[in-house]
Structure 1
């Protein structure tokens, strides 16, 4: 062996040693990168893991995945044996597709109800194929994010939007005026309000109390302070339209609170009472007319005048006679005498309960007025009790014909009654 060959071997050995050291460094770097990646995966907030083989055996899962359901231990187990049915079958079908095609898949907002859990969780998973150096697929890497909070928030927003749409539909079609104010300024007014007050879009920003007279503003302020709920009040006020005209209205205000219970706006419902007032006035007039008609009917029934024969009328008196009724008796008798051209009128007191000085004076005054019309008045039906009372009060009946009964009075009247107008 020559010296030249030894030098070549030494140089080649040195090169091999350097290449071997470089390979060790690359190996160590790959291990560190793997460990760092593994550590990063385990520490990620999203649920991350690796499954290998066509049975999708769990190789790696991080703490976030375990937190989804701590009772599940997946390492070394196929997917179908880890997730409960029917969830396991659905997820396995999706992962099979990724394993077969290599195409990534996103499963969004999947509902998961873990064994023993009271509420359903929602998770969005991303599945991607793992390939070897030759491009062959040997596993699946997945990461999932618990979107339960977002889903609940989304549902709350949807519910709120639904309620807002419902409120808006009710407000827009309500016959009463509805407004919302912030710091006393109108921020929303429904069509009924705009029609009632004669405003257009310019009503937004207008102070609500500017549409109520000064007395109404003071009344609403007082009612707010008196109310059990701050900002709640109801009052009848005079409202002012855009053109300056006024109308009676009812204003009901109520507070609108935020999620913290603080008042951040105020609602108000306003109603035009013009038609209601008109109806009430018509009802009042109708009631007054009805009462007047009833009183007329009562007067006619309580003081009836009966034409008994030609130029002979009878007025039977029943019950108690007071000042008002004595006036009715006088009015009815005089009108009846004139209408029937009566020569004789009989006032029958059989049904009179008692007779005092006032009643006696009234009857005498009625008889005197009838005589002025040329009619003779006969007083019948005086009971012993009434006769004794008349004597005791000193009533003078010398100018009045009296008979004990109505029959006796009628018989006397028929004899006294002229047979025709010409004989009177």
Structure 2
């Protein structure tokens, strides 16, 4: 028979077992609740992730979870409980499913970067970087695939903008480094960049950095630039001809154009300046001016020669027809041409025809008389022809003394007189 002590021992054992079972049950419940809590937290985290996340199970890739970011990629699709090939229509769905077979079979992840895609009904091209990874049980068995994707459109476009900006900067730097004009950038008044052309023309070399803009021009030029800045509508935008200073103290004529450099907020944080050495241009201008002056002088000489022609009519007889207005310079030309012609042709008679003279004042009359007197000193008789009534009246009014000068009304009469005198001279000899 079972004693009371045995019954009591059995009861104690049963109570201990019951307590152990209760503790085990409570522990299992706590672990289950903890697992559920962790699962819920993980699910909440996945659903709230900015990246697109989706979970597919089984070899047919049935969706069991997708977050809002995944739905945003394909808002027209309802994936939960459906196979991948049923969610994404062909040809894309079957193509992705075939790509996922190795992931499900071997566990090797599938990664693709910057894949282009467009949302249904949209022409906007976007880019996605995605990662497919195998889901395993504790035993290591693969039971599904998790998808993680990021819309990298903004990053790619920012990267493209940076690349474009870098390309532009390289282009601008190449232009500046190879420009024939000097280019200088100053920040807070000091030079931070000078291209090779300016380093050469200024003689500073690399030591140009840390110089100031006033160091590069003389005081008068700097005062001019400051005045132009005050007058200008755009701060810092100035263009002027200046005297540039080299490092050795010598100067050269130049032209400077300054302009403001603004930051992203529109504030001026630097100033640019373009220098042009005008030495060669000034030398070329001076040479051109000298050539032009020589040309003008040659033209004037030709005009004077054409306006005071000396025409030999017969042996020892020359004619100089005068046309236009006679000033002091032209009267000297008349005198010089007549005397040279008399000597060259050994003329005994010279006819000055004034038919084409527009007017004659005292100065012109005195010049003609002086010319006639000089010719007589050479043994040549001067005949003045073509005096118009207006010119004759003017000569009388100013009291011109024409004694000793033969006058005839027309050139024809003057030539007849000269030829007759010549014949008389021959008979007398």
Q: TM-score, normalised by structure 1?
A: 0.89
- Sort the Cα spacing of 1:91 and 1:176 in 2 relative to 1 into closer, same or farther, 3 A: farther
Q: Tell me what 1:54 maps to.
A: 59
User: Any stretches of 5+ residues in structure 1 without a counterpart?
Assistant: none
Is the aligned partner of 1:374 residue 2:379?
yes
Q: CA separation in 2, counterparts of 1:102 and 1:276? A: 77
- Deviation digits for residues 61-91 of structure 1, max 9, x if unmatched? 1223233454433222333444466654554
- Deviation digits for residues 267-307 of structure 1, max 9, x if unmatched? 11111110000000001101111111111111001111122
Q: Tell me what 1:135 maps to.
A: 140
Q: CA separation in 2, counterparts of 1:332 and 1:79? A: 113
Note the C-alpha offset of 1:236.
Answer: 1.0
Q: CA separation in 1, counterparts of 2:62 and 2:17? A: 45
Is the aligned partner of 1:27 residue 2:32?
yes
Q: Tell me what 2:227 maps to.
A: 222
CA RMSD of aligned residues (A): 2.9
Note the C-alpha offset of 1:203.
Answer: 1.6
- Deviation digits for residues 8-64 of structure 1, max 9, x if unmatched? 983696355554444344333322222222222222232222112233222101223
Q: Name which of structure 1's ranges 185-194 and 7-16 shifts more when overlaid on structure 2.
A: 7-16
Is the aligned partner of 1:285 residue 2:290?
yes
Q: Tell me what 1:147 maps to.
A: 152
Q: Tell me what 1:232 maps to.
A: 237
1:110-129 matches, cutoff 5 A: 110-117=115-122, 119-129=124-134
Q: CA separation in 2, counterparts of 1:278 and 1:71? A: 77
Helix, strand or coil at the partner of 1:129: strand
- Deviation digits for residues 103-147 of structure 1, max 9, x if unmatched? 123222222321234533333222210123443322111222232
Q: Name which of structure 1's ranges 242-251 and 28-37 shifts more when overlaid on structure 2.
A: 28-37
Q: Tell me what 1:250 maps to.
A: 255
Q: How many residues align?
A: 422
* 1:401 counterpart (402, 406, 422): 406
Q: CA separation in 2, counterparts of 1:305 and 1:261? A: 78
Q: CA separation in 1, counterparts of 2:270 and 2:243? A: 23
Is the aligned partner of 1:7 residue 2:16?
no
Q: Tell me what 2:204 maps to.
A: 199
Q: CA separation in 2, counterparts of 1:355 and 1:266? A: 67
- Sort the Cα spacing of 1:90 and 1:364 in 2 relative to 1 into closer, same or farther, 3 A: farther
- Sort the Cα spacing of 1:402 and 1:419 in 2 relative to 1 into closer, same or farther, 3 A: closer
- Deviation digits for residues 291-333 of structure 1, max 9, x if unmatched? 1111111100111112233332210112333343333222221
Q: Name which of structure 1's ranges 411-420 and 53-62 shifts more when overlaid on structure 2.
A: 411-420
Question: Would the aligned equivalents of 1:312 and 1:417 in 2 still touch at CA under 8 Å?
Answer: no
Helix, strand or coil at the partner of 1:175: coil
Q: CA separation in 1, counterparts of 2:91 and 2:187? A: 52
Q: CA separation in 2, counterparts of 1:265 and 1:87? A: 54
Is the aligned partner of 1:172 residue 2:168?
no
Q: Name which of structure 1's ranges 193-202 and 381-390 shifts more when overlaid on structure 2.
A: 381-390
Q: Tell me what 1:190 maps to.
A: 195
Helix, strand or coil at the partner of 2:192: strand
Helix, strand or coil at the partner of 1:345: strand
Helix, strand or coil at the partner of 1:75: coil
Q: CA separation in 2, counterparts of 1:90 and 1:224? A: 67
- Sort the Cα spacing of 1:384 and 1:35 in 2 relative to 1 into closer, same or farther, 3 A: closer
Helix, strand or coil at the partner of 1:268: strand
User: Any stretches of 5+ residues in structure 2 without a counterpart?
Assistant: none
* 2:214 counterpart (209, 219, 230): 209
Note the C-alpha offset of 1:380.
Answer: 2.0
Q: TM-score, normalised by structure 2?
A: 0.88
Q: Tell me what 2:280 maps to.
A: 275
Helix, strand or coil at the partner of 1:290: helix
- Sort the Cα spacing of 1:297 and 1:23 in 2 relative to 1 into closer, same or farther, 3 A: same
Question: Would the aligned equivalents of 1:317 and 1:350 in 2 still touch at CA under 8 Å?
Answer: yes
Question: Would the aligned equivalents of 1:51 and 1:141 in 2 still touch at CA under 8 Å?
Answer: yes
* 2:315 counterpart (306, 310, 313): 310
Q: Name which of structure 1's ranges 328-337 and 251-260 shifts more when overlaid on structure 2.
A: 328-337
Is the aligned partner of 1:349 residue 2:334?
no
Q: Name which of structure 1's ranges 397-406 and 210-219 shifts more when overlaid on structure 2.
A: 397-406
